[in-house]
Amino acid sequence: MDIIVIGAGIAGITTAYSLHTAGHRVCVIERQTTVAQKASFGHGGVILPTPFDTWFGPELSFSSWPAWLGGESTRVRFSKNLRNCSWTRRFFKQPSSEQCLARYARLKPLIDLSSLTLAEIETRHAFEFEQRTGILHLFRHASELKRIAPALLFLKQHEHPYQLLNAEECYQAEPSIPLQPPLAGGILLPDDRSANCPLFAKQLKQVLEEAGVRFLLGRKVARIDPALARVELEPPHHHSASALSSLPNQTFESMTADAIVLTAGTGSLPLLAQAGVRLPLQLMQLHTIIAPIAYEERAPHLTLIDTVQHITMARFNNRLRVAGGIVGPRLKQAQFNLNHTLRQQTLNKVAHAVHNWLPGITKLSTGSYWDGQKLLSPDGLPIVGATAHPRLWVNLAHGPVGWALTCGAAKALADQLTGQACELDADTLMALSPTRFER
């Protein structure tokens, strides 16, 4: 089959890889001049989610938001339009700890498939993308550790290696942590990994190009026709809506295929609207600081996570990547920059986390500051599969934690699109399907 993949972030690249591996002819269209430049670029680095992560763990359940809504790193704003109100009602259903873990359990088959798929890619191509083993979740207060007890039980039941550490053991495991302010303890996941998401995507793109996959970079999709699986591209270098409106219709480049897969993150929203596909998605704003390490001897060797404040601190060679600060802007304002003051306040709070957990280790003054947007579904699960249009597919909303989820999601999508037996069970496929919100 001829398949067009729209979007060359980590979801688009892994989707193209799985479709090509399944024997399809693939063309990837990306409005940026290279791959993994938007949300994939600012990813914190954690490869796969765990029950402690933002959208699943009991400590971080949606019902706990009132306690940390004004926290050190996170600000949330919801618009008042009806679509967002619907999303907000779904989001704040106040799930119990058991419900949160049940949600994570529903995702676990995809996590397992993603782990296997990523391992196959690493083995086949011998990639090196700044992988680092060992993730330490840190807690300041004993009450925070107490609330994660259900998640620890879940890890034990599923034989996921972990170590419950007291404060002294945390300092021994990661000497870069300062003694003050004091710790209550931490959870060490010795086998979990972090890695450089955009570097992985670029290496995979090179493999795909050498295998004959076509990339159209710096090209924006103007319209799609899902019934005909047709895509119309804007002329190169025309980004102004007023300038575009003055161009004759024949300047649009038209492409047809057997199927279209949308993997463009927030850029998928207008194309979905054109197709009449309504998904209850919310835009979430992510902030990242990438700073050089000033003192090698004091740099962390583990990836550190402030679990309550949702701050990830991952070391990539001689750089530290600190990710956090989530904001929900209004959907209608998605194409505009955030209020500068709010953006700066949020970035300052992310920087404060570095001073709090790793003081003096990085040169923040010479670091680069990044912000971008990701899509989030109301149940925290990705949206993968065919839409109501049988020739229009989506692979979206993988959340702010666990970029390698896209590997398993791409494999599942390719199996379904090809008509092959999928390694995910029917219940999991339904839990990820775009049609699940119609019930």
pLDDT higher for 249 or 118? 118
On whether residue 232 sits in a domain, the answer given is no
pLDDT for 336 equals 44
pLDDT for 310 equals 83
On whether residue 182 sits in a domain, the answer given is yes
The answer to whether residue 348 scores a pLDDT higher than 90 is no
On whether residue 394 sits in a domain, the answer given is yes
Half-sphere exposure of 6 (CA within 13 A, CB side): 32
pLDDT higher for 374 or 74? 374
User: Containing domain of residue 303, as a range?
Assistant: 2-215+262-438
Rounded CA gap, 433 and 8, in Å? 21
The answer to whether residue 240 scores a pLDDT higher than 70 is no
Q: What percent of the chain has pLDDT over 70?
A: 82
Q: At 174, which CATH number?
A: 3.30.9.10
pLDDT for 86 equals 54
Closest CA to 238 of 253, 257, 228, 225: 253
* Torsional class of 212: left (φ above 0), alpha (ψ -120 to 50), beta (otherwise): left
pLDDT digit string (tens) for 127-177?
999 999 999 999 999 999 988 888 899 899 999 999 999 999 999 999 999
pLDDT digit string (tens) for 76-91?
444 444 445 555 555 5
On whether residue 157 sits in a domain, the answer given is yes
The answer to whether residue 74 scores a pLDDT higher than 80 is no
Rounded CA gap, 202 and 207, in Å? 9
* Domains identified in the chain, total number: 1
Q: Look up tokens 């600060």; give the residue.
A: 325
pLDDT digit string (tens) for 18-40?
999 999 999 999 999 999 999 99
The answer to whether residue 269 scores a pLDDT higher than 70 is yes
The two three-digit tokens of residue 290, written as one number? 């990438």
pLDDT higher for 86 or 7? 7
pLDDT higher for 228 or 363? 228
The answer to whether residue 120 scores a pLDDT higher than 70 is yes
- CA distances (Å), 86 to each of 269, 270, 290, 406, in order? 17, 19, 35, 26
Helices (H), 161-196: 167-173
Long-range Cβ contact pairs of 228-236 (< 8 A, separation 24 or more)? 228/256, 228/391, 229/4, 229/256, 229/257, 229/258, 229/259, 229/260, 229/391, 229/392, 230/254, 230/255, 230/256, 230/257, 231/4, 231/6, 231/29, 231/255, 231/256, 231/257, 231/260, 233/29
Tell me if residue 209 falls in helix, strand or coil. Answer: helix
46 confidence band (pLDDT: 50, 70, 90): very high
Ranges 154-158, 294-298, 331-335, 376-380: which has the least confidence = 331-335
On whether residue 241 sits in a domain, the answer given is no
pLDDT higher for 221 or 281? 221
pLDDT digit string (tens) for 374-387?
888 888 899 999 99
352 confidence band (pLDDT: 50, 70, 90): confident
pLDDT for 56 equals 58
Q: What percent of the chain has pLDDT over 90?
A: 63
Mean pLDDT computed over 52-69: 46
- Average model confidence (pLDDT) across the chain: 85
pLDDT for 238 equals 55
**Prediction pTM value:** 0.89
The answer to whether residue 69 scores a pLDDT higher than 60 is no
On whether residue 432 sits in a domain, the answer given is yes
Rounded CA gap, 195 and 199, in Å? 9
The answer to whether residue 328 scores a pLDDT higher than 70 is no
Mean pLDDT computed over 229-237: 90
On whether residue 252 sits in a domain, the answer given is no
On whether residue 366 sits in a domain, the answer given is yes
The answer to whether residue 65 scores a pLDDT higher than 80 is no
